[in-house]
Amino acid sequence: MNPTRTSVTVVVPTYREVENIPLLVERVRGVREQSGLDLNLLLMDDDSRDGSAEAVQALGLPWVQMVTRTANRSLSWAVLDGLKHTKRDVFVVMDADLSHPPEKIPEMVALVEGGADVAIGSRFVEGGSTADDWGFLRWLNSRVATLFAMPLARLSDPMSGFFAMRRSTFEAGRDFNPVGYKILLELIIKCRCVRAVDVPIHFDNRRFGKSKLSFKEQLKYLQHCRRLYIYKYGTWSHLVQFLVVGLSGLAVNLTALTLLLRVLGPQKLDVALAIALSMVWNFVLNRRFSFSYARGQAVVRQFIGFVAACSVGAVVNYFVTLGLWGAFEHKQVPALIGVLVGTGFNFAASRFVIFRSKHVRPETQAIG
């Protein structure tokens, strides 16, 4: 064996893929022989009990290994565990169902050896494609999911499960904490990958077994994106969530006021009720989403603090608006500035006083 040859491990998460495994091994064997790469196959199986382990054993190939996991069943954690096992120079992650062409592995390995942080098998670049029977809904689903990933990384196919990375890049990563099945995004953010290169692939339909991608997994994807936004953007991500919650509170306020004016009087009471309702609404959503790290703290104290901050914010708004009143011909301008300053005050008080994160330890796990 040539000692300077790059060693590669192909990490494949598997769950009930007994029919696909022999086909995958055959295709990877072809790549090994043709490319001359020093290539191992590591199957990370979540205790499928469908004969997968026996099938791998029966093959008796020293370069094919299966690890059976029994705890924390999850595609992403199976991949992470596989990567921690890997002591070779480069790893490639791919699915077992032959959706991904193993023949692209040498090109991907060469790209990361040449300096790319990650090489991604992409369906959506020139030369890439998907199987013909992708219906509109599947296509739309994939495009929407890609949109959610845009603030995290500008990639043509961030949903891809086929990619290569140097082990050193992975080992520089920390705080891994994926939910759901999109491990590529997790790695790109937590390993701070900058140079991502696309490799066009044809994405085939699986021939045997069925997809484990359920609706529940898709919801987890949104949760995962949110976690990554918070990780990447910190306080900015809290601010965006706070503003989105604020807008939803405005809609609640206006809807409630409209309804109350129809069914209940007096009008002063309607206005007060609509304000109170939107304040409770904002509090609940901010506690659940914008500042969810502080959910463990006393709710009553937080609520009183939040109402106080909103009230002081309103006073700040009032005085800023009046202070700038004479400076503008169009009075909407000082009013808008007043709203912005008042909202800024509310946010700062919420983020750094009421929902402060002083004693909260994030649920994260370092590699190693």
Ligand X SMILES: Nc1nc2c(ncn2[C@@H]2O[C@H](COP(=O)(O)OP(=O)(O)O)[C@@H](O)[C@H]2O)c(=O)[nH]1
Closer CB to Mg ion, 184 or 349, in the complex: 184
Give least dist CB 198 to Mg ion, A.
19
Interface with Mg ion in residues 114-143 (CB under 5 A): none
Query: Please, what's the b/e burial string for 64-93 (b: 16 or more CB within 10 A of its CB; e: otherwise)?
Result: bebeebeeeebbbbbbbbbbeebeebbbbb
Residue 15 contacts which entry, ligand X, Mg ion, none (Cβ below 5-8 A, type-dependent) = ligand X
User: Which of 345, 153, 348, 116 shows the shortest CA–CA distance to 231?
Assistant: 153
> 201 to each of 112, 118, 190, 196, 198, how far by Cα in Å?
17, 15, 25, 15, 9
Residue 213 contacts which entry, ligand X, Mg ion, none (Cβ below 5-8 A, type-dependent) = ligand X
For CA atoms 351, 354, 355, 356, give the dihedral sign: positive
Among 17, 45, 95, 157, the residue binding Mg ion under the rule CB under 5 A is 95
Closer CB to ligand X, 224 or 238, in the complex: 224
Quote the tokens at residue 201: 């692939």
Closer CB to ligand X, 20 or 278, in the complex: 20
Alpha-carbon gap, residue 34 to 241, rounded angstroms: 51
Give least dist CB 341 to ligand X, A.
47
CB atoms within 10 A of CB 298: 10
Quote the tokens at residue 248: 């939803």
Give least dist CB 261 to Mg ion, A.
54
Residue 73 contacts which entry, Mg ion, ligand X, none (Cβ below 5-8 A, type-dependent) = ligand X
In this structure, are residues 319 and 356 in contact, taking their beta carbons and an 8 Å threshold?
no
Give least dist CB 35 to Mg ion, A.
24
Give least dist CB 206 to Mg ion, A.
5
Residue 14 contacts which entry, Mg ion, ligand X, none (Cβ below 5-8 A, type-dependent) = ligand X
* 3-class secondary structure, 102: helix
What are residue 44's DSSP bridge partners? 13, 67
- In the block, residue with structure tokens 């029994």: 70
Interacting residues toward ligand X by CB under 6 A: 13-15, 17, 44-46, 73-75, 78, 95-97, 99, 161, 206, 211-213
Binding residue count for Mg ion, defined by CB under 5 A: 3
Give least dist CB 96 to ligand X, A.
3
Give least dist CB 98 to Mg ion, A.
9
Residue 321 near Mg ion by CB under 5 A: no
> What amino acid occupies position 345?
F
For β-strands 7-14 and 196-200, DSSP reports them as unpaired
Residue 43 contacts which entry, Mg ion, ligand X, none (Cβ below 5-8 A, type-dependent) = none
Tell me the helices (H) and strands (E) count for the chain, helix number first: 12, 9
Residue 13 contacts which entry, Mg ion, ligand X, none (Cβ below 5-8 A, type-dependent) = ligand X
Closer CB to Mg ion, 99 or 286, in the complex: 99
Closer CB to Mg ion, 17 or 270, in the complex: 17
In this structure, are residues 59 and 22 in contact, taking their beta carbons and an 8 Å threshold?
yes
Alpha-carbon gap, residue 229 to 255, rounded angstroms: 30
Residue 252 contacts which entry, ligand X, Mg ion, none (Cβ below 5-8 A, type-dependent) = none
Contact set with Mg ion (CB under 5 A): 95, 97, 99
